Amino acid sequence: MRKLGPPSEIGRLAAPIARLLDGVWQRMHWWIGAMALLYLLSGITIVKSDEVAVILRWGRLVGQTPALQEHGPGLLFALPEPVDRVVRVQVKKVSEVDVGTLIATPDEGEQGDSGSLSPLQGYAITGDHNVVQLDMVARYRVREPAKWAFYGPDSEGILRVEVTAAMVRSLGEMGVDRVLADGRKSLIATATRRAQAGLDAAQSGLELSSLELTRLTPPAALTTEFDAVQSAFIGAETRKKQALAFAETAIPQAHATTDTAVQAAMAAASSDLAQANGDAAAFLALDREYRANPVVVRERLYRDAVERAIGGAGNVRWVPPPKGGSYRGFRITIGGGSKSGSSEMSGDDDR
């Protein structure tokens, strides 16, 4: 059997410590066991119904996929800190944050009232190189708890940056008249889409629920001019609506008048065509009859013409000649002005 050598220097120094620990264990072993048990049980976490929990072990997410990383409501068993850290996330809660990076603070607004825009004020430039200031409220919730817990604990700071960048870019693509009038809905939709893309690229785990413009105005130094432009725009829109209302009344009336005139013209054309066809048929019949018996037809036409001429003369009144029997200066006057017509013979006495 191999003989043991003399104890080393480390063993001699450790022997008193070992005896001390052994004495402490003999006297307080159940206290140490209880504290160790409580320490192990401190890793148990209760996850509420509106929460999702993730575990960070030595600063890294536990689980390879989101399904394994995210733990639903109930009891969650994890190692105590500092090994594991349980992060509980309220996924159903909608939070809101004020994004006032593009608006002047009260002190800055007083500086800008002098007629110039202070470089300290927040502002954005529209597509037609006009300056506007706006205040926004962003509402959001945590959509991906694992990413939020690991990448984006400073959620409000990331949200402000992305919303501001998206709004500045969207305003740069629109004119100021549209921004201040009827383009707000389109502006908000475009900025929301871009802000969400930025949040996803930043691995923030946030979902932008809504974006509200609580204030959208020109700088204080230009408020009067912008109000004048806005009033002119509203007046133009009012006159346009009045013109459209007048057109809705005038156009049907014009169509009705046109239809009436067209119908009257068509009726007159039909009547004239029928009369022309009748006259042409009578003339052709007379022509055929004339070719067959020209003497008789010519005589009849002559008699008809004479009858029409005499029939239009009306009554004939004979005026006796003057005394002395002189018919010098005798004349016949046929009156054509009266409806019945008259014929008068008179003589002048030449003395």
pLDDT, tens digit, 9 for 90 and up, residues 164-222: 999 999 999 888 878 877 788 899 999 999 999 999 888 888 889 999 988 888 777 77
312-349 pLDDT tens trace: 666 656 666 666 655 555 555 555 544 444 444 444 44
Asked whether 109 and 220 are in contact (CB, 8 A), the reply is: yes
Which of 144 and 90 is assigned the larger pLDDT?
144
Range 54-77 burial, b when 16+ CB lie within 10 A, else e: bbbeeeebbeeeeeebbbeeeebe
Question: What confidence score (pLDDT) does residue 287 get?
Answer: 86
Match 């016949």 to its residue by tokens: 332
What's the token pair of residue 163?
């919303």
Among 49-63, 218-232, 242-256, top mean pLDDT goes to 242-256
Cα separation, 77 vs 251, in Å, equals 79
Q: What is the pLDDT of residues 118-165, one digit of tens each?
A: 555 678 888 888 888 888 999 998 888 877 776 656 778 888 999 999
Residue 312 corresponds to which tokens in the numbers above?
């239009």
Pick from 11-20, 199-208, 266-275: least confident: 11-20
Backbone angles phi, psi at 198, to 5 degrees: -65, -40
Mean pLDDT of 65-70: 71
pLDDT at 109 over 50: no
Report which of residues 116 and 132 the model is more confident about: 132
CB 344 within 8 A of CB 317: yes
Cα distances (angstroms) measured from residue 56 to each of 62, 153, 214: 6, 13, 39
pLDDT of amino acid 137: 92
What's the pTM? 0.51
pLDDT of residue 83: 73
Asked if 95 and 140 count as a contact pair (C-beta separation under 8 A), the reply is yes
* Res 117 pLDDT > 60: no
Beta strands, E only, the chain = 44-47, 51-57, 60-61, 74-77, 84-90, 95-99, 124-125, 131-142, 206-217, 315-317, 331-335, 342-346
Between 2 and 291, the more confident residue is: 291
Q: Which of 78, 210, 227, 74 shows the shortest CA–CA distance to 136?
A: 210
**Across residues 83-92, what is the average pLDDT?**
73
Could you give the C-alpha distances from 350 to 242, 320, 344, in angstroms and in order? 84, 15, 19
Please give the residue that has the higher pLDDT: either 35 or 195. 195
Q: Which residues, in sequence order, are bridge partners of residue 141? A: 207
Q: What is the pLDDT of residue 331?
A: 58
Mean pLDDT estimate for the chain: 76
Please, which pLDDT band fits residue 262 given cuts at 50, 70 and 90?
A: very high
pLDDT score, position 11:
67
Q: How do strand 342-346 and strand 315-317 relate by DSSP bridges?
A: parallel
Q: CB-based contacts of 86: which residues, under 8 Å, 6+ apart?
A: 43, 45, 53, 54, 55, 56, 76, 78
- Given a cut of 60, whether residue 24 has pLDDT beyond it is yes
